[in-house]
Structure 1
Amino acid sequence: MELKVLRNFITVVEEEGVTAAADVLRISQPALSRQIKELEDELGATLFTRGTRSRTLELTREGRLLYRRAQEIIELADRTASEIATEEEIAGDIHIAAAQSTVMRTVAKAMMQLRAKHPQVRVHLHDDYGGNIAERLDNGLADFGVLVQPTDMSRYDFLPLPGGDVMGVLMRHDYPLASHERITAADLKYVPVIAPYGVLVRRDLSGWLKQGNEELNIIGTMNLLYNASCFVEEGYGCAICPAGLVDTSWQSGLVFRPLEPERHTQLAIAWKKSQPLTPVAAAFLDELRTVI
């Protein structure tokens, strides 16, 4: 598979048709159709079917898989070219995949110090949860991953990050539990909650709850708290989450109550053992060590 063909395939997907994609790419429609047909022949799979609208194309299951992988391949190729071009100077891009946490302030301070010395540095943040963060690290799509602990770190080098997040419950100000100063496991027994996907997978609350996750009335999962907070505002339920990530001032209509006994998250920043750091990534790590 040629990178040029994969780029053209991505354009066909995003433009929802060969004709529109050919106009964007400034190539003939027959030439682009031929590229897609040769790609299908190479893979032995049909990538598109005709959509409900006669002029649109829809991805098949195989097409959706290729679209996802093609985006990763192109991103990795572009990053490699950029890193080679800036190999001799401290400049270029740093990709950080991270769980949402207030400890990212430490990471931000290190990046500020680095940019003060090397203004040509840029950071790209990708918010996600543990499994996807590890996948981006393993695939080379992230230089660093900020992971909630405990996590299997055997494939990585890492630094523990100072501090941590107090876990608690986000709710509307008029919810009955808002009158409590702290939330116990008994308080949550029948409360409909949206829970972070990573918290459930790692079973972070298994020691706090007598019966583990099964004790919770889970009505949804999340990996981005802001989106979940919109559901909380609308009365869908409460959210189990870290403190300090969304507005809980009196104007917001939301309140946060910590768990009792208190629970904290611990995080670490990781990078692949087997992957040499680029000069800009190594410089960032030096700054991060000074901040820590």
Structure 2
Amino acid sequence: MELRVLNYFLATAQELNMTKAAEKLLVSQPALSRQIADLEDELGVKLFIRKPRQLILTPEGRYLQEQAKEILTLSEKTKRNLQSTTVISGDLTIAAGESIGMQRVINIISDIIQDYPMVKIHILSGDYTFAEKRLNTGTVDFAVIIGSLPLNNYYSLKLPETDRWGFLVRSDDPLASKKYIEAKDVINRPLIVSQQVIERNLFDNWFGNYKDQINIIGTFNLNFNGILMVKNRAAIMLTLDNLANTSKESGLKFVPIKSTITSPINVIWKKETTLSPVAQLFLDRLSASIQVE
């Protein structure tokens, strides 16, 4: 598959109309139709269901659309990084979950873009599954991972910071007056937790005998929407410290759980991968920041 043809396919998949896609690409409609037909012949699958005035992506077409975006992103990133010479430039891309450890990462990034104005930074927010997928496809240089997770397939650098677990509640909630929260305190309370907590059963032992009485009503990937639910009295939120504004004016309070459960923070990158100059610079500065503490 040629990159040019993948660009043609993506434009067609976006417009779902061959004429409009051809106009966007500045090619003739018959030429574009032939390119798409040749691509389908090459792959041995139909990418579109053809209607008189509209195209519909097949399941195979939707899969290729997702993969083509990753391939073209990686291609463009590789091109920019190869074009950098003695002056450090190019793209530094990091996939990260929400964590207090990101402050250290942001500090390093801020220094780099001050010293090397030609560097472009891209930070993608998401959970472990999101970050791992992009790291494996090569569309990010590093991933910041929160929690005790299997990292044998990657190089890793553990950050000194740790994240503390607890509950985010409204300041007028009875739980807000507690020094810490036990599992029995949240029996039958509407509770939202991160998707990672569910997928990895992180709190099954902590819930203990009360597990069947814990009312988990939903999940979230990023904290912002969960915080809105807490503010609206829809739920309380099992989350990490330092991820929400808990000033007096916020109307929110973070109360740690009784057992001191913390999550380590690791920066990981693929083995047997040659880092770009800017990625190596980031890693060197991150390592140095840890060693001086």
Question: Scaled by the length of structure 2, what TM-score is found?
Answer: 0.90
Structure 1 55/184 Cα, relative in aligned 2: closer, same or farther at 3 Å? farther
User: How do 1:99-178 and structure 2 match up within 5 A?
Assistant: 99-178=97-176
| Structure 1 contact 169–257 (Cα < 8 Å) conserved | yes
Cα deviation, residue 101, structure 1: 0.5
Aligned residues: 290
- Percent sequence identity over matched residues? 38
| Structure 2 contact 165–239 (Cα < 8 Å) conserved | yes
Which range moved further: 169-178 or 40-49? 169-178
| Structure 2 contact 169–230 (Cα < 8 Å) conserved | yes
Which residue number corresponds to residue 60 of structure 1?
58
Which range moved further: 32-41 or 156-165? 32-41
Deviation digits for residues 163-203 of structure 1, max 9, x if unmatched?
Answer: 12221112334444334342211112212211111222333
RMSD: 2.1
Which residue number corresponds to residue 252 of structure 1?
250
* Partner amino acid, structure 1, of 2:145: L
Task: In structure 2, list runs of 5 or more residues that go unmatched.
Answer: none
Deviation digits for residues 9-35 of structure 1, max 9, x if unmatched?
Answer: 111222232222222111112221222
* Partner amino acid, structure 1, of 2:264: Q
Give the 3-state SS of the residue equivalent to 1:274 in structure 2. Answer: coil
* Partner amino acid, structure 2, of 1:3: L
Which residue number corresponds to residue 281 of structure 2?
283
Match of 1:209 among 197, 202, 207: 207
Which residue number corresponds to residue 97 of structure 1?
95
Give the 3-state SS of the residue equivalent to 1:186 in structure 2. Answer: helix
Deviation digits for residues 110-140 of structure 1, max 9, x if unmatched?
Answer: 1122223322222111111112212211211
Match of 1:241 among 229, 239, 242: 239
Which residue number corresponds to residue 28 of structure 2?
28
Structure 1 111/219 Cα, relative in aligned 2: closer, same or farther at 3 Å? same
Deviation digits for residues 219-271 of structure 1, max 9, x if unmatched?
Answer: 11211111222233333322211122122334434332221123222111011
Cα deviation, residue 88, structure 1: 4.0
Measure, in 1, the Cα distance between the counterparts of 2:288 and 2:212: 43
Cα deviation, residue 159, structure 1: 0.9
* Partner amino acid, structure 2, of 1:127: S
Structure 1 55/193 Cα, relative in aligned 2: closer, same or farther at 3 Å? farther
Task: In structure 1, list runs of 5 or more residues that go unmatched.
Answer: none
| Structure 1 contact 205–213 (Cα < 8 Å) conserved | no
| Structure 2 contact 99–146 (Cα < 8 Å) conserved | no
Measure, in 2, the Cα distance between the counterparts of 1:252 and 1:283: 38
